[in-house]
């Protein structure tokens, strides 16, 4: 049980709350007269986080999540207990924290970089990359007090991750940015994970926690109720926030009992072993009549939305592999009749297509595509392996078009696309060209769908009234 990145031992934090501002001054002069109410934001927190672990921290507002992160980051001092950290920490806490509102964005980059331990020369060497990642244009030279919330987050995240931190702390900040920027941030978080960094991630977004984290804790009223897998923590959290008031305390007790019923150290050891260092018609009948509500699967009716192309819906930060004999050209989505689109309608047919120009002879060529969520979860993909005699060997100068026809069985959200070509060039099987997050698209609702989560399973609901009078049901056919 070595190689701990963070150790939190018996940490508690007490805040004083005064009814009137003058009471604080009176207490200084008359210390024997206590005029404040005490509020314990944290109570006896014990936590061990290994190097390479990504820990999700989940809980209702006011549960102590942000206070715990601030103590770990060193911006707050615990009332009792201690925290030990191993490695360079970078934190993105509340919006705009650490920024001087009177300084320009550029000045704040240098100021915060020095606070994070970088020298002037190191900041200058990284400045162009920071500015490019933030992508706020000329606002980088304007006072940050003129920034929108999205600009704050862009610059803050760019600075926080520019130092290659051993420990990254993110507190709800990514919920502010647009989808393209969120995807770019998740991509950088994955980079930190890949090189063995430790991440503390606070979010109310259940999907992000389950996809990004390998373990999680549930906090409430300043204590850790449960440490377990992200899926388990999210399920208990959702039960808590939707529980009736009279059942809330009983549910808290049940969750506490879960924590004591399993060996938390064994769970931590398992996590560590995975992270070593370096998804009707209604005729008014009743009394047993069958009322069926069905959704047409092949030709969905949609009178509200239409598929179209928005030139502003483009990824912020596509990543391209070095070309090794091929060049992918213009990846995009179309309707079956060739109309370019990036706003799709659920359950309709679309085509993902791109051109490929070969600059060198290649053999055993494969063409691929991949769909990912905003958080980077690889949702669906396909690989077209050349099987005909002609395509097993492709000469330099050859150009072709690749098409992947699919039915959009996704729930409304924003998604990202990869494109890749692989094959044998000069004796080595490798990517000949590859684009990460080269395109993005938004799925709009289909009014007859009852789908939830991510994948639309084309569920056809059926309602049967066994007694009483039938309510008026919407007609879907």
Q: Give the CATH class of 4-87+166-274.
A: alpha beta
- Tokens at residue 191, please? 């980079």
pTM above 0.75, yes or no: no
CATH fold match for the domains 4-87+166-274 and 319-444: no
Tell me the pLDDT tens digit for each residue of 37-77: 788 999 999 999 999 999 999 998 889 999 999 999 988 99
pLDDT at position 276: 45
Q: Are 369 and 418 in contact (CB under 8 A)?
A: yes
pLDDT at position 298: 39
Indicate if the pLDDT at residue 326 is higher than 80: yes
Q: Domain-by-domain residue ranges, the chain?
A: 4-87+166-274, 319-444
Listed residue (131, 135, 91) closest to 110, CA to CA = 131
Distances (CA, A) of 289 to 218, 280, 295, 469: 46, 13, 20, 10
Q: How confident is the model at residue 203 (pLDDT cuts 50, 70, 90)?
A: confident
Tell me the pLDDT tens digit for each residue of 84-96: 999 889 888 765 5
Indicate if the pLDDT at residue 322 is higher than 60: yes
pLDDT at position 280: 34
* Better pLDDT: 211 or 357: 357
pLDDT at position 264: 52
pLDDT at position 261: 65
pLDDT at position 296: 36
- Pick from 74-83, 136-145, 280-289, 343-352: least confident: 280-289
Q: What is the mean pLDDT of the chain?
A: 82
**DSSP secondary structure letters along 222-277:** TEEEEEE-HHHHHHHHHHHHHS-HHHHHHHHHHHHHHHHHS-HHHHHHHHHHHS--
Indicate if the pLDDT at residue 289 is higher than 70: no
CATH number given to 319-444: 2.70.50.60
Indicate if the pLDDT at residue 299 is higher than 70: no
């Amino acid at each position: 049980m070595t190689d701990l990145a963070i150790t939190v031992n018996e940490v508690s934090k007490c805040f004083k709350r005064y009814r009137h501002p003058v009471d604080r001054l009176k207490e200084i002069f008359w210390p024997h007269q206590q005029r404040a109410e005490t509020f314990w934001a944290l109570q006896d927190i014990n936590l061990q986080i290994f190097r390479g672990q990504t820990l999700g921290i989940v809980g209702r507002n006011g549960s102590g999540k942000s206070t715990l992160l601030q103590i770990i980051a060193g911006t707050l001092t615990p009332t009792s207990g201690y925290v030990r950290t191993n490695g360079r920490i970078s934190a993105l806490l509340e919006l705009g924290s650490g920024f001087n509102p009177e300084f320009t964005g550029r000045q704040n980059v240098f100021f915060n970089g020095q606070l994070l331990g970088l020298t002037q020369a190191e900041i200058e060497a990284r400045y162009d990359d920071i500015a490019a990642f933030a992508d706020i244009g000329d606002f980088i030279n304007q006072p940050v007090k003129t920034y929108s919330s999205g600009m704050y987050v862009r610059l803050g995240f760019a600075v926080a991750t520019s130092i290659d931190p051993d420990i990254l702390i993110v507190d709800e900040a990514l919920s502010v940015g647009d989808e393209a920027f969120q995807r770019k941030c998740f991509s950088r978080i994955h980079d930190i994970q890949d090189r063995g960094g430790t991440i503390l991630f606070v979010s109310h977004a259940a999907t992000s926690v389950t996809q990004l984290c390998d373990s999680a804790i549930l906090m409430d009223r300043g204590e850790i109720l449960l440490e377990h897998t992200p899926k388990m923590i999210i399920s208990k959290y959702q039960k808590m926030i939707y529980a009736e008031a009279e059942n809330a305390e009983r549910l808290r007790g049940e969750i506490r009992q879960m924590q004591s019923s399993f060996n938390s150290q064994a769970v931590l050891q398992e996590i560590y072993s995975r992270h070593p260092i370096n998804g009707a018609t209604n005729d008014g009948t009743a009394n047993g009549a069958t009322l069926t509500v069905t959704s047409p699967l092949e030709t969905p009716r949609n009178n509200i939305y239409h598929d179209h192309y928005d030139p502003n819906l483009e990824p912020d930060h596509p990543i391209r592999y070095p070309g090794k004999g091929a060049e992918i050209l213009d990846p995009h989505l179309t309707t079956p009749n060739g109309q370019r689109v990036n706003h799709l309608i659920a359950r309709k047919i679309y085509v993902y297509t791109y051109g490929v120009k070969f600059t060198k002879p290649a053999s055993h060529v494969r063409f691929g595509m991949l769909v990912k969520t905003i958080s980077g979860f690889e949702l669906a993909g396909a690989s077209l392996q050349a099987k005909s005699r002609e395509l097993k060997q492709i000469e330099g100068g050859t150009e072709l078009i690749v098409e992947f026809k699919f039915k959009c069985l996704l729930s409304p959200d924003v998604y990202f696309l990869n494109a890749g070509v692989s094959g044998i060039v000069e004796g080595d099987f490798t990517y000949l060209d590859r684009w990460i997050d080269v395109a993005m698209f938004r799925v709009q609702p289909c009014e007859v769908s009852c789908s939830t989560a991510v994948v639309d399973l084309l569920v056809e609901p059926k309602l049967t009234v066994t007694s009483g009078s039938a309510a008026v049901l919407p007609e879907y056919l």
